[in-house]
Amino acid sequence: MIRLALLFIVSLLLPLPALAAAPLLADLSNYRIDIDAGFNGTRIFLFGARNDIGDIVVVVRGPSKDYIVRKKEEIAGIWINRERMKFFNVPDFYAIATSKPLADMDSSLLFKQLGIGQDNLLTSPADPKSRANFDQFNDAFLRYQLERKLYMKQPEMVNFMGETLFKTVIEFPDNIPPGNYTAEIYLLSNNEVVGMQSTPITVVKSGVDAFLYMYAHQHPALYGISAIVIALFVGWFGGRAFQKA
């Protein structure tokens, strides 16, 4: 919060020539999110100032991941996987905030190039047959991410305080994946990017959760054996306890 207060003070006190050098200036309340056993979600506040006229769009992207979306069909009373579609380098978390609805900005081509908006995240395959089924696989993937609360149903609002200062908040659910995130702030005018700033956000596991996460990923075989041994011991101990009772 001290950083945000300083940002406001600097933006108000800087002379006009200094502000003119940067069409957009923004900062976050926090650059790091620690996930432990008691983590139940958090939020990050974003404040900024614009020096030119335009719309503000804030996009927060999580670590990229490859997905395979499968379509099940019922054959002879049995549901089996038939068609499938692969999507590469898709953000596992995606949040957006805008100063006005994206539909009112008339920048659809620019949004597609920058990956702004959930409908512009997945790339349609080159194969004509696969392209015909793209929409249903795209909708299925978006529903999956919305159910996990890793994508947002509606963009948050970017609120202006006067003509220059703006603010918004980004919500992070309790199941966010660890990794490197980026907060992208765009100043758009006349279907062009007038100013842009990208700020990293780090999400890490801490405490016992961090140890188990690293152990499972760096030593998967030992982790599996350990899990089996612990399960057998708990089962044996529980059986002995009930016998004595």
**What is the tens place of the pLDDT at every residue in 72-131?**
777 766 777 778 888 999 999 999 999 999 888 878 889 988 999 988 998 877 777 667
Average pLDDT, the chain: 82
The residue among 102, 202, 90 whose CA lies nearest residue 156 is 102
Mean pLDDT of 215-226: 65
Comparison of pLDDT for 225 and 198, the residue scoring more? 198
Number of H helices and E strands in the chain, helices first, is 7, 12
What domains appear along the chain, each with residue ranges and CATH number?
2-206 (2.60.40.1930), 207-245 (no CATH)
* Strand (E) or helix (H) holding 231: helix 220-244
pLDDT of residue 14 exceeding 50, the answer is: no
pLDDT of residue 177 exceeding 80, the answer is: yes
147 vs 176: CA distance, rounded Å: 13
182 vs 176: CA distance, rounded Å: 14
Q: pLDDT confidence of 50, banded at 50, 70, 90? A: very high
Mean pLDDT of 162-182: 94
Q: What is the pLDDT of residues 17-42, one digit of tens each?
A: 544 567 899 999 999 999 988 889 99
Mean pLDDT of 212-229: 65
Q: pLDDT confidence of 153, banded at 50, 70, 90? A: confident
Residue 42 CB: number of other CB atoms within 10 A?
Answer: 16
232 vs 240: CA distance, rounded Å: 12
Comparison of pLDDT for 213 and 50, the residue scoring more? 50
Q: What are the residues whose beta carbons fall under 8 Å from the beta carbon of 133, sequence distance 6 or more?
A: 71, 83, 85
Q: In what order do the strands lie in the sheet with 179-189?
A: 32-35, 192-205, 179-189, 55-61, 94-98, 156-157
pLDDT more than 90, % of the chain: 47
Is 46:8 a contact under the CB 8 Å cutoff? Answer: no
What is the predicted pLDDT for the residue at 206? 76
Indicate the pTM of the whole model: 0.76
